[in-house]
């Protein structure tokens, strides 16, 4: 449905495990376009309770739907009394710049603030997830201002970068198969070249391994990585994050799992442990 400048519109609502998985559209000032997000409201909110919020950032090609449909997180979030918010992965709409490939443009916002034309007009996912979306969520829904953040692949990169650059903003951070060192992998180099230009000092602000190596204030961090992940060696590079954590004595737990790949079958197998990790830091 078309949205006015200020509207927030519920488009879908699905009862899930006693709570509700809902999708909303709204007009984003940061991104200069209409956006969608999903929210799971656990059953505790029905009786007036306010709950903490766990933000989920999805990977390449995803929307606000994938995590809610495939991860199986609502069961545990309903038990723990945690809301989950899943934004889309890029600005959207006919006048938003795009690229034919799946790793640049729509579905591939990389959670950065683009400074290069034509991307800078809309691609400001860092600010959107950092400021506009939480302000909207906290003004609209029965939630507290306690927040944690997690994500997958490109979204794991986004979650780590947001937490590392803003100590105290999130109670905890976790990632499945994150792009851990984007300045040194093809996906990151392609996206950062387009969105951020040639100045690699700007790139460093969006690289979890570089940020973690310099960190002085810490957010509890958990990473799970499948060893049968087809992107492990070329794109994900968890060893860079591990070395950075060692250098700064960052409280990172990084688990490697034999046989698991990059899919939601991996995420769904470990999502319960991530939710319990975050709940322990949100309570």
* DSSP strand pairing (8-16 vs 19-28): antiparallel
Least gap, CB of 228 to a second copy (angstroms) = 7
By CB under 8 A, residue 269 contacts a second copy: yes
Whose Cβ is closer to a second copy: residue 46's or residue 135's? 46
By CB under 8 A, residue 226 contacts a second copy: yes
By CB under 8 A, residue 261 contacts a second copy: yes
CA distance 148 to 49: 18
Q: Please pick, from the candidates 28, 45, 58, 74, the single residue that binds a second copy as defined by CB under 8 A.
A: 74
Q: Please pick, from the candidates 126, 170, 195, 264, the single residue that binds a second copy as defined by CB under 8 A.
A: 264
Start-end of H helices in the chain:
66-70, 74-80, 125-127, 133-140, 154-165, 186-196, 200-204, 208-214, 238-248, 264-282
Whose Cβ is closer to a second copy: residue 44's or residue 219's? 44
List, by residue number, the catalytic residues. Answer: 153, 229, 262
Single out the segment in contact with a second copy by CB under 8 A; choices: 8-16, 136-144, 179-187, 247-255.
8-16
Secondary structure (DSSP) of 64-115: SSHHHHHS--HHHHHHHT-EEEEE-SS--STTS---SSTTSBTTB-TT-B--
Whether 223 and 252 have beta carbons less than 8 Å apart is answered as: yes
Binding site for a second copy (CB under 8 A): 14-18, 21, 69-70, 72, 74-75, 226, 228, 257, 259-261, 263-266, 268-269, 272
């Amino acid at each position: 449905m078309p949205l006015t400048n200020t509207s927030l519109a519920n488009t879908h609502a699905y009862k899930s495990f006693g709570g509700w998985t809902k999708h909303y559209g709204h007009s984003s000032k940061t991104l200069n376009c209409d956006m969608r997000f999903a929210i799971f409201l656990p059953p505790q909110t029905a009786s007036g309770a306010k709950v903490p919020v766990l933000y989920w950032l999805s990977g390449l090609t995803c929307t606000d739907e994938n995590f809610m449909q495939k991860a199986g997180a609502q069961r545990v979030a309903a038990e723990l009394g945690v809301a989950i918010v899943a934004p889309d992965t890029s600005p959207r709409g006919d006048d938003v710049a795009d690229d034919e490939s799946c790793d640049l443009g729509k579905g591939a916002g990389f959670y950065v603030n683009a400074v290069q034309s034509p991307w800078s007009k809309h691609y400001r996912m860092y600010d959107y997830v950092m400021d506009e979306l939480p302000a909207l969520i906290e003004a609209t829904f029965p939630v507290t201002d306690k927040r944690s953040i997690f994500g997958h692949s490109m979204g794991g990169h986004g979650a780590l970068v947001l937490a590392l650059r803003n100590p105290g903003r999130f109670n905890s951070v976790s990632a499945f198969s994150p792009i851990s060192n984007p300045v040194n992998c093809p996906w990151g180099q392609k996206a950062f070249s387009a969105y951020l230009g040639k100045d690699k000092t700007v790139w460093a602000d969006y690289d979890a391994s570089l940020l973690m190596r310099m960190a002085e204030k810490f957010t509890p961090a958990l990473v799970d990585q499948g060893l049968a992940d087809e992107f492990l060696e070329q794109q994900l590079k968890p060893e860079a994050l591990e070395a950075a954590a060692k250098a700064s004595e960052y409280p990172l737990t990084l688990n490697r799992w034999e046989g698991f790949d990059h899919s939601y079958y991996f995420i769904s197998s470990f999502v319960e442990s991530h939710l319990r990790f975050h709940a322990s830091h949100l309570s």
